[in-house]
Amino acid sequence: MPARERVTTAREIAAQVRSGARTALEVVEQALDAAWRLDPVLHFLDELDPEGALAAAKAEPTGPLAGVPFLIKSRTPPESPLLARLVAAGATPIGWSTRARAGAVSLTFGWNGREYTRNPWDLTRSPGGSTAGGAAAVAAGVVPLATGGDSGGSLRIPASFCGIVGFKGTYGRIPRPGGRPLGGLTTAGLIGADLDDVIVATSIASGPDRLDPTALPHWPVPSRLERPWRIAYHSTLGECAADPGVDRVLRERLAEVDVEVVDVPLELAPTDEAWSVLSALDNGRGVDAAGARRARQVRDLDNTALADLFATVDALVTPTTLTVAHGYDQHEQSIVTGDPCWVFNVTGHPAVSVPVGLSEGLPVGAQVVTPHGADDVALAVARRLLVELPPPPVSVGVRRASS
């Protein structure tokens, strides 16, 4: 059986660099070596930046993320407040990760211009998207963190497919370089191998910025909440059902942990048309007045339905994706797997995905959703559900138990 030495978290890396136990240069060189070795197999890189990464490491960074290597989602604006704040905290970008090819029917895959990004759990499967490369690299242990943006599940879907953590905070949690868009779908954020790493990095990146002064106030790292939780579980939020194996893993995990699962009905308005209208507004495309009114109605109806739900329970739990990772080459198919995700881009609720087990040998993610601003509750419930998975077959540090 494959075994793996415990992966060093971003927080531990930073502590080692600050104490002098390791240098930032040693850490970054290790990450670059892992990228060179694993990218030919997983194809997670859009571009590597060894010169820039090594120069930054030689500058002996300090701060809460001193020396921590990370990947930037491709096509992220260089002036992004998320990037600036991570770098100011001492983190070192080593390059840009792949995302879905523009114009593809399915965005739950990655593409580097030559090859499709592969899932380290199974090279015939996709790591999800559109933060595909970052998720594959984090799951494989190349870097502990990667950046992304979530308009319809682009942080949570790849986190689910790859067995890691993806966190979309309450809308506006992290400022965006373009300021507040008209539609308001996208939340900048992070994926990581460790829940607390993602929390710390999100806190660092939070707060208003001159490019986005309407962002939410700075979000301090929340205290750990330990109390009985009332949970509503819904295996699907739309017309398509979850795969029985995925549903079973979620139900078994909920039965194992100390939460009260209650049956509370939830009827949400269909999101498809509203999401498309809001996406068009965000991207500068025109919409007709009737479509805009309908999108607003859907957002209001769903916000009201969720407010009624959260008056009864602390959190809503769903599968993050209705299936485990699909084939990496199914990009031209209309794949229904991320339906539980995009309604919360329309409403702006915080949502986090954490691994809770395996089905067919592939990761299953649980999505935890809470009221606006209750990000700390979402993360506390997610912590209780989270399961530490074994290493994927393609990863840094995997060794044979007999070695």
User: CATH no. for residue 374?
Assistant: 3.90.1300.10
* 313 Rama class: left (phi>0) / alpha (psi -120 to 50) / beta: beta
Q: What are phi and psi of 400, to 5 degrees?
A: -80, 140
pLDDT above 60 for 390: yes
**b/e map 259-285, b = 16+ CB within 10 Å:** bebeebeeebbebeebbebbbbbbeee
- Which residues form the catalytic set? 73, 130, 154
Q: Rounded mean pLDDT of 248-253?
A: 98
pLDDT of residue 5: 55
Q: What are phi and psi of 298, to 5 degrees?
A: -65, -45
Helices (H) and strands (E) in the chain, counts: 12, 13
pLDDT of residue 104: 78
Q: Rounded mean pLDDT of 193-212?
A: 98
Q: Rounded mean pLDDT of 386-392?
A: 96
Domain of 47? 2-400
Write the pLDDT tens digit of every residue in 320-358.
999 999 999 887 787 889 999 999 999 999 999 999 999
**Residue given tokens 């485990």 in the structure block:** 324
Measured between alpha carbons, how far is residue 364 from residues 66, 115, 157, 348 in Å? 32, 25, 10, 23
Residue 370: count other Cβ atoms within 10 Å of its Cβ.
25
Write the pLDDT tens digit of every residue in 99-148.
998 877 888 899 999 999 999 999 999 999 999 999 999 999 999 999 99
Instruction: Look up residue 168 and give its two tokens.
Output: 């979309």
pLDDT above 70 for 3: no
Q: Rounded mean pLDDT of 157-163?
A: 98
pLDDT of residue 6: 64
pLDDT of residue 335: 82
pLDDT of residue 401: 34
Q: Rounded mean pLDDT of 202-218?
A: 97
* 279 Rama class: left (phi>0) / alpha (psi -120 to 50) / beta: alpha
Average pLDDT along the chain: 95
Write the pLDDT tens digit of every residue in 31-89.
999 999 999 999 999 999 999 999 999 999 999 999 999 999 999 999 999 999 999 99
**b/e map 28-56, b = 16+ CB within 10 Å:** bbbbbebbeebbeebbbbbebbeeebbeb
Count of structural domains, the chain: 1
pLDDT above 60 for 1: no
Its pTM stands at 0.96
- Say if residues 303 and 317 touch (Cβ distance below 8 Å): no
pLDDT of residue 241: 96
pLDDT of residue 7: 78
pLDDT of residue 402: 29
Q: Rounded mean pLDDT of 300-311?
A: 98
pLDDT above 70 for 399: no
Confidence of residue 187 (pLDDT cuts 50, 70, 90): very high
- Say if residues 115 and 109 touch (Cβ distance below 8 Å): no
pLDDT of residue 106: 81
Instruction: Look up residue 147 and give its two tokens.
Output: 């950046």
CA distance 385 to 379: 10
What is the three-state SS of 279-335? HHHHCCCCCCHHHHHHHHHHHHHHHHHHHHHHCCCCEEEEECCCCCCCECCCCCCCC
Q: Rounded mean pLDDT of 290-318?
A: 97
Confidence of residue 287 (pLDDT cuts 50, 70, 90): very high
- For residue 218, give the nearest of 153, 166, 169, 145 by alpha carbon: 169
Q: Rounded mean pLDDT of 311-324?
A: 98
Confidence of residue 230 (pLDDT cuts 50, 70, 90): very high
* 163 Rama class: left (phi>0) / alpha (psi -120 to 50) / beta: left
- Say if residues 260 and 314 touch (Cβ distance below 8 Å): no
